[in-house]
Amino acid sequence: MDLFVQQLVNAISLGGVYALLALGLAMVFSIMGLVNFAHGEIMTLGGYAMWFVTVQFGAPLPVVVAASVLTGLVAALLMERIAFRPVRGASVVTMLLTSFAVSVMLQVTFQNVISPRPKGVQLPPEMSRVIPVLGVEIGVIQLTAIVMVLVSLGLIMLFLRRTTLGISMRAAAQDFSVARLMGIHADAVVATAFAISGLLAGVAAFLWVAQRGSVDPGMGLTPIIKAFIASVMGGLGSLPGAVVGGFVLGFVEIMLQAWLPQAALPFKDAASLAIVIAILLWRPQGLLGRAADRV
């Protein structure tokens, strides 16, 4: 029972990180049709910001979180303005390739400007403690992750449901051209989508680096591929779908980690992705996606 609760906590904290990333991706995709490969590099930048403030200033934990989140925000906004504005309204393939190129160029820049090797990020020792909750030993990092994920998702939901801008975002996600005809400002909606995706990537970067203790130029790649596949599994373009997909992928990974025999553990990532592809065989439009147009 204890073991099960612990695995559940692991699954929620890992799935939560995927959900944050997938939600950011889905938000940008649903509004401008961009599958943003460079989302992972926003996360990497957040990680480098954490490294910078801890090594240079020995900053306290709240400052480290703020650094990661703000860097994600600024990086996402700059990326939209510089790289993606020229291809706005272009085909999905054009935007996809643009973001692919941006992603690779950023990775190479990190290698040259910072270092090709991982940089250690030292967080306060309290973060790696284990505390008893209701008779079960739970890591502080996992607990932080769950709280931060739930708070972020709650705030995003409030924003999308209660504010004018949030409601225009949902309208734009449904049908961008009609939303524009209703007087919704395209630039504002697109910038907000990138801002939110950047904030979420910053939170995800903090949680990811806090667990692993280091940041390297290619750090964003693996989580971003998983977040992509999570958003496809949830239904590409569906915001709740992205969150659900992220959590499902987290559960699948933790359950495989717990139950796969030792010899099969190297194949864990392959197995979880294969399960996702099998789910797509059953529901090609994703768990919460709308079926394709019928002829």
Partner 1 sequence: MRRLVTLDNPIRRALVGSGVLAVPLVVFAVVVALLLGPAEQQVAINFFISLIAVVGFGIYSGNSGIMTFGHVAFMGIAAYAGSLLTMSPAIKAQALPNLIPALRDVQVPFVPALVGALVVVAALAFAFGFPLSRLSAAATPIATLAMLMITYVVLVGAADITRGSQTFYGVPPITDLTVAVVFALLAIVVARLFRESVLGLRIRASREDELAARSMGVDVANLRLVAWILSALVVGVAGMLLGHNLTAFSPKQFYLTLQFALVAMLVVGGPTTVTGAAGGAFLIALLMESARRVEGLVSGLTLGPIRIEQFFGLQEIALGLVILAVMYRRREGLFGRLEVDEVLVRWWHGRPTVSRPPRDGDSGPSP
278 lies in the site for partner 1, by CB under 8 A: yes
User: How many helices (H) and strands (E) would you count in the chain?
Assistant: 11, 4
DSSP state at residue 163: S
Task: Find, among 170, 136, 143, the residue nearest to 30 by Cα.
Answer: 170
Which residue in the block uniquely carries the two structure tokens 């403030």? 53
Residue 257 within binding range of partner 1, rule CB under 8 A = no
Stretch that binds partner 1, among 96-104, 151-159, 164-172, 193-201 (CB under 8 A): 96-104
Q: Which position among 6, 61, 88, 191 is part of the footprint of partner 1 (CB under 8 A)? A: 88
Which residue, among 158, 154, 146, 156, has the nearest Cα to 26 in the 3D structure?
156
Q: Which residue's entry shows tokens 């569906």? A: 238
* 51 versus 84: smaller Cβ distance to partner 1: 84
Q: Which of 4, 57, 60, 108 binds partner 1 (CB under 8 A)?
A: 108
Neighbours of 37 (CB within 10 A): 24
CA atoms within 13 A on the CB side of 207: 30
Per-residue string for binding with partner 1, 196-235, x by CB under 8 A? -------------------------x---x--xx-xx---
Q: How far apart are CA 130 and CA 29, in angstroms?
A: 38
Q: Which of 57, 60, 92, 178 binds partner 1 (CB under 8 A)?
A: 92
Binding site for partner 1 (CB under 8 A): 29, 33, 35, 83, 86-94, 96-98, 100-102, 104-105, 107-108, 111-112, 116, 221, 225, 228-229, 231-232, 236-237, 266-267, 269-270, 273-274, 276-278, 280-281, 284-286, 292-293, 295
